[in-house]
Amino acid sequence: MQVSVKKSLLLVRPFALAFAFFFFLLLPGLLIGGFVVKGAEELFLFGAVPVAAAVFGGNRKLALRFTFLTAFIGGLSLVFAPSVALNTALIAIVSGLVGLTARRGTQSPGLLMVVTLGFIVVSPPVINWRDGGAAIESPWYAAIGALILLSGGLWATAIGYVVRNKIPAGAAPVQRELPVVIPYALALFVSTGLATFIVLEYWTNGLGAWIILTVLVVVQPERETMKTKVAYRVGGTLIGGLISILLLFSLEIFDLQSGYMQLFLAFICISLAMSFYQSGPYWIFVTFITPGVVLLDSNQASDQIKVAEIRVLFTLIGAVVAVLIAVSIRELAKRVRYSGS
């Protein structure tokens, strides 16, 4: 009996920590969006997510670095909007540079920074002053957006410092050689650039950002790791998409869709996902994060089931693009290395 209680506590504690962390992470953004700048909630979260990944992933020393990097690069993307060429180049270059950090095994927070950048680029947020209701436009638009991103990162850094002793120790970073890192960085550069261009040209409804997200997750430095990520990402998304549809149908039956109950369920799913972020397995993380984001992002959509279906489709498209480009570049690099030896 005591053993079963201890096992239950071991399962509940990561969820409770993730739930509390995510709640306090969102709170200032909700307050800023509710009383000062409408639309700040999303940007605040985007600023906080890469920093939270650094904190929970055992790279707490990188938190401030990613705080300022996310604010700067995110602000730059708002300056470039709505230019397809400039924002495509921005995401491709930043992705390639993040890929180079795989040599020291510190690429994970950088990849999440590019993920948030993809959402900002594909669907630039509309931010309004709460008192007058007028939309904030250039030259203040990018500056205020960057300031909100910076606030999110600083807040995540502060929370990470407070709970530093409660976060489980992360795995040691994997050191890699340049012959592995350079093809990886090139694969990220080409695949994210191509994905961003296609999305900005043909899918500007915001959902296309999931193609960029999938590319960033699937492309991996090692072949075997990439095979596993593809299987976990696609499998977890399919299961998570099915859960999303079942939850949305249930909410519709009880007339609870597009309201606080849907947001609460999204909050629960994301917290469950975060409790598996570090310990894994990755497919469980994807299984829970998919309905969480679908419920959160489709809360105001007219056809929520369609949103869930499109996310699954875009995940499959992103996986195919990532695998084709990564395998091609890896094989090309192998031939170049052999011909030069």
Q: What is the pLDDT of residue 205?
A: 66
Is pLDDT larger for residue 144 or for residue 12? 144
pLDDT of 1 above 90: no
pLDDT tens for 283-327 read 898 898 888 877 776 555 556 677 778 888 888 888 888 889 988
Q: What is the pLDDT of residue 3?
A: 46
Listed by start position, the domains of the chain span 11-175, 177-341
Is pLDDT larger for residue 297 or for residue 71? 71
3-state secondary structure of 23: helix
pLDDT tens for 248-277 read 888 888 777 666 787 788 888 888 887 777
pLDDT of 30 above 60: yes
How many residues are listed for the chain in this entry?
341
Q: What does each C-alpha distance from 290 to 200, 218, 283, 329 come to in angstroms?
A: 22, 16, 11, 29
pLDDT of 36 above 90: no
Whole-angstrom Cα distance, residue 116 to residue 123?
11
Q: What is the mean pLDDT of residues 100-109?
A: 87
Q: What is the mean pLDDT of residues 54-81?
A: 85
Q: What is the pLDDT of residue 259?
A: 64
Q: What is the pLDDT of residue 272?
A: 84
With helix as H, strand as E and coil as C, how does the chain read?
Answer: CHHHHHHHHHHHHHHHHHHHHHHHHHHHHHHHHHHCEECHHHHHHHHHHHHHHHHHCCCHHHHHHHHHHHHHHHHHHHHHCCCHHHHHHHHHHHHHHHHHHHHCCCCHHHHHHHHHHHHHHHCCCCCEECCCCCECCCCHHHHHHHHHHHHHHHHHHHHHHHCHHHCCCCCCCCCCCHHHHHHHHHHHHHHHHHHHHHHHHHCCCCCCHHHHHHHHHHCCCCHHHHHHHHHHHHHHHHHHHHHHHHHHHHHHHCCCCCCHHHHHHHHHHHHHHHHCCCCCCHHHHHHHHHHHHHHHHCCCCCCHHHHHHHHHHHHHHHHHHHHHHHHHHHHHHHHHHHHHC
pLDDT tens for 114-162 read 988 998 998 888 888 766 666 677 678 889 999 999 999 999 888 888 8
Cis peptide before 183 (omega within 30 of 0): no
Query: What predicted TM-score, i.e. pTM, was given to this entire model?
Result: 0.85
Whole-angstrom Cα distance, residue 159 to residue 153?
10
Is pLDDT larger for residue 176 or for residue 96? 96
pLDDT of 234 above 60: yes
Residue type, 74: G
Residue type, 46: F
For the chain, the average pLDDT equals: 82
Q: What is the pLDDT of residue 138?
A: 67
Please report the sign of the dihedral spanned by the C-alpha atoms of residue 257, residue 260, residue 265, residue 267. Answer: positive
pLDDT of 12 above 70: no
Please report the sign of the dihedral spanned by the C-alpha atoms of residue 333, residue 334, residue 340, residue 341. Answer: positive
Please report, rounded to a whole number, the percentage of residues in the chain having pLDDT higher than 70. 84
Q: What is the pLDDT of residue 262?
A: 79
- List the beta strands (DSSP E) in the chain: 37-38, 128-129
Q: What is the pLDDT of residue 62?
A: 81
